[in-house]
């Protein structure tokens, strides 16, 4: 584990632990303040508390709704933190095409914060999305596995390969996406969740080995991937259970 990242995360634990806000962490941790001894926070605990209970800082922010099978969750991201995420690759004419509208807005904000003007694809009408992609002459794409398949006609009629495709999600069926390889110079698989942002990446190839992104600590605890981020986010990510089975994803040790 990178000592600099570990030291920064330990300092974040100390800051959150003595903060007058983000009280959910203090209540959940009890008296423990040593990072690698903190209890693992589940989605149920995080989703079950209000935004003020987990707001560690106040900043110019984007608020979005995250849904799972049983509940909804208000996720707040500071613009400056969105900009630091590794959602895509900086190019001249990116397209954002995701199956969740809230995620499309956030990833488009990432483009703006990085100085790019994105095309936001119409997720419910792939015919329009494909037509606009051709007209805009996109050179990169931020998408998910479901939405990528919807764009297949665009790629099959294209001549110039894209610079990059970044496919976001908590799991991937790589075999089903290999058809896109002839149409792009680089395909990134980016492990991410709406509430955590991106935390590991791999290339689409014969064998996927995911490398933790800078500032991310990924542990294998109880058979699932547990994530921590050194960045001081509005909602800090500290020993968070992603619910991603560790046996299903080959992740390089942090």
Residue 3 has pLDDT above 90, yes or no: no
**Cα–Cα distance for residue pair 252/235, rounded to 1 Å:** 25
246 pLDDT above the threshold of 80: yes
CATH number for the domain running over 85-208: 3.40.50.980
| Cα atoms in the 13 Å half-sphere on the side-chain side of 104 | 15
pLDDT at 173 over 80: yes
Contact between residue 83 and residue 60 where contact means Cβ atoms under 8 Å apart: no
Phi, psi for residue 26 in degrees, rounded to 5 = -65, -40
At 132-172, the pLDDT tens digits run 999 999 999 999 999 999 999 999 987 789 999 999 999 99
Question: What span, in angstroms and rounded, lies between the C-alpha atoms of 156 and 130?
Answer: 11
Task: Using a cut of 0.75, tell me whether the model's pTM lies above it.
Answer: yes
Per-residue pLDDT tens digits for 29-72: 999 999 999 999 998 999 889 999 999 999 999 999 887 777 78
In contact, 205 and 178? CB cutoff 8 Å: no
Cα within 13 Å of Cα(140), Cβ side: 21
Q: What DSSP assignment string belongs to 40-84?
A: PBPHHHHHTS-HHHH-----SEEEEEEE-SS-EEEEEEEHHHHHH
Digit-coded pLDDT (tens) for 62-105: 999 887 777 788 899 999 999 999 999 999 999 999 999 999 99
φ and ψ at residue 29, rounded to 5 degrees: -80, -25
Domain boundaries, the chain: 1-82+229-248, 85-208
CB 235 within 8 A of CB 195: yes
């Amino acid at each position: 584990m990178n000592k600099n990242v570990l030291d920064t995360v330990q300092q974040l634990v100390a800051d959150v632990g003595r903060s007058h806000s983000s009280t959910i962490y203090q209540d959940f941790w009890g008296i423990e303040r040593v990072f690698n001894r903190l209890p693992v926070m589940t989605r149920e605990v995080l989703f079950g508390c209000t935004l003020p209970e987990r707001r560690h800082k106040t900043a110019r922010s984007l608020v979005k709704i995250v849904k799972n099978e049983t509940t909804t969750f208000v996720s707040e991201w500071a613009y400056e933190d969105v900009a630091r995420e590794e959602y895509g690759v900086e190019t001249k004419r990116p397209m954002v095409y995701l199956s969740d509208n809230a995620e499309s807005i956030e990833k488009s904000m990432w483009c703006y914060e990085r100085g790019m003007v994105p095309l936001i694809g119409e997720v419910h009408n792939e015919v329009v999305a494909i037509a606009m992609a051709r007209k805009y002459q996109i050179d990169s794409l931020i998408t998910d596995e479901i939405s990528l398949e919807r764009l297949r006609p665009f790629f099959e009629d294209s001549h110039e390969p894209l610079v990059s495709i970044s496919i976001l999600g908590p799991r991937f069926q790589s075999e089903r996406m290999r058809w896109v390889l002839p149409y792009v110079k680089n395909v990134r698989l980016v492990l991410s969740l709406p509430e955590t942002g991106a935390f590991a990446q791999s290339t689409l190839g014969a064998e996927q080995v995911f490398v933790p992104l800078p500032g991310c600590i990924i542990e294998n605890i109880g058979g699932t991937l547990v994530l921590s981020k050194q960045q001081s986010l509005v909602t800090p990510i500290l020993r968070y259970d992603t619910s991603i089975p560790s046996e299903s994803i080959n992740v390089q040790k942090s």
